[in-house]
Amino acid sequence: MKTSYVSNLAVQNAMRSTIALGQLELIKLQQEVTTGKYADAGAALGATSSRSVSLKNELERLASLKETNAIVKQRLSASQSALETMRKAAEQINTTLIATLGNDDTTRLNIAKTDINGALSSFVAAANIQFNGEFLMSGINTDIKPLAEYNATSLAKASFVTARDDYMDANGIATMKDFTVAQMNDFITTKIEPMYTGSQWDTDWSQASDQNIMSRISANEVVQSTTNTNTMGVRKFALAAVLSIELLGEDLSSDVRTAVNMASQNYVQQSSTGIIETSSTLGISEARLKKADTSIDAQKKLVQLHITDIEGVDVYEASTRMNALLTQIETSYTLTSRLQQMSLINFL
């Protein structure tokens, strides 16, 4: 019969190895108890982990879509605010025109001209609104200021003066006082209006694109998220404002001034209608965006539920295993301590 010895050092090292492994396992179990998921999903799931990865990618895609939708929402909200300012400017001009209808008093007409100039400036400022460094009413030309200002040096001013002088020369009209109602109506409808409804608008006033920005708000849905300054609502406002500014205060007969006033009212009312239609279009986009966000939230919850089903652990079981492991580690500590105290000196 042969016996062999086992040193206490070897036993201590074995205990240390057991404790180290136990501590690593304990960290994993603590994480699983806290998160309710596998600490190492790849190792735990094996081939099934590919499904988990796919679901997580889908969750990230939905989260990214929700973030971009938040930007679209802000863009639409800012556009609606600008359109509301523009609509109020149109109402201001209409109110001023109604108040001066049939009035030939120079002082009153000058006050009206100042009011209309102010409304036009407010309108142009709203049309040139920016969001995150982009012009909202430039269509896809977001880096270009869409609407020009109207002043003494503007192209629109020069075009009006040229059109007026050419018309007067062609029709033998010596002074503004010599305009008849028929001639004024003809001048407005055949000379001035085409400048605002036709291609000259792009030269004198607008640098915006007719093509608006379209934003994807869900996997299969795209909405219009901006507008532009080439819509009839904007064109007719500018037309009404310029006619009022340039003609109401001129030395016209009372009947001709009334004709100018009525024509300007007609254009500004068309402008209000056009602006409301544009606002309604963006309003539809806002409603669709809200529904899309609701749908995305529901999809995120469903995907997250599937991920939890795949990666989820039994927290109670993990907690039980963790407590058992803690007990095991404590026992190992105790045994290691006792082994360290073993010495032949104690038996001599």
Domain range for 92 is 66-301
The yes-or-no verdict on residue 345 having pLDDT over 90 is: no
Q: And the tokens for 90?
A: 């149109």
pTM above 0.75, yes or no: yes
| 53 inside domain | no
Number of folded domains that form the chain = 1
What pLDDT is stored for residue 52 in this prediction? 65
Give me the sign of the Cα torsion angle 237, 238, 241, 244: negative
Contact assessment for residue 303 and residue 58, using Cβ atoms and an 8 Å cutoff: yes
Higher pLDDT, 337 or 51: 51
CATH number of domain containing 198: 1.20.1330.10
What pLDDT is stored for residue 55 in this prediction? 78
Q: What is the mean pLDDT of residues 202-228?
A: 94
Contact assessment for residue 181 and residue 172, using Cβ atoms and an 8 Å cutoff: no
| 10 inside domain | no
| 262 inside domain | yes
| 83 inside domain | yes
For the ranges 7-11, 243-247, 299-303, the lowest mean pLDDT is seen at: 7-11
The yes-or-no verdict on residue 327 having pLDDT over 90 is: no
Q: What is the mean pLDDT of residues 278-302?
A: 94
In angstroms, the CA 162 to CA 29 distance is 85
- Span 73-126, pLDDT tens digits: 999 999 999 999 999 999 999 999 999 998 899 999 999 999 999 999 999 999
Contact assessment for residue 148 and residue 156, using Cβ atoms and an 8 Å cutoff: yes
| 9 inside domain | no
Q: Where are the beta strands (DSSP E) in the chain?
A: 130-131, 134-135, 214-218, 221-224
pLDDT band of residue 199 (cuts 50, 70, 90) is: very high
pLDDT band of residue 346 (cuts 50, 70, 90) is: low
Q: What is the mean pLDDT of residues 217-241?
A: 95
- Span 301-325, pLDDT tens digits: 988 787 767 655 545 465 666 566 6
What pLDDT is stored for residue 183 in this prediction? 97
| 293 inside domain | yes
185 Cβ contact list (under 8 Å, min separation 6): 259, 263
pLDDT band of residue 53 (cuts 50, 70, 90) is: confident
First to last CA, the chain: 27
Give me the sign of the Cα torsion angle 170, 176, 182, 185: positive
| 18 inside domain | no
What pLDDT is stored for residue 54 in this prediction? 79
Q: What is the mean pLDDT of residues 246-255?
A: 94
Which residue's structure tokens are 């239609």? 277
| 198 inside domain | yes
Q: And the tokens for 220?
A: 């299969």
What pLDDT is stored for residue 217 in this prediction? 93
What pLDDT is stored for residue 192 in this prediction? 97
- Span 76-85, pLDDT tens digits: 999 999 999 9
Q: What is the mean pLDDT of residues 144-150?
A: 96
Which residue's structure tokens are 């062609």? 170
In angstroms, the CA 115 to CA 113 distance is 5
What pLDDT is stored for residue 305 in this prediction? 81
Q: What is the mean pLDDT of residues 292-297?
A: 94
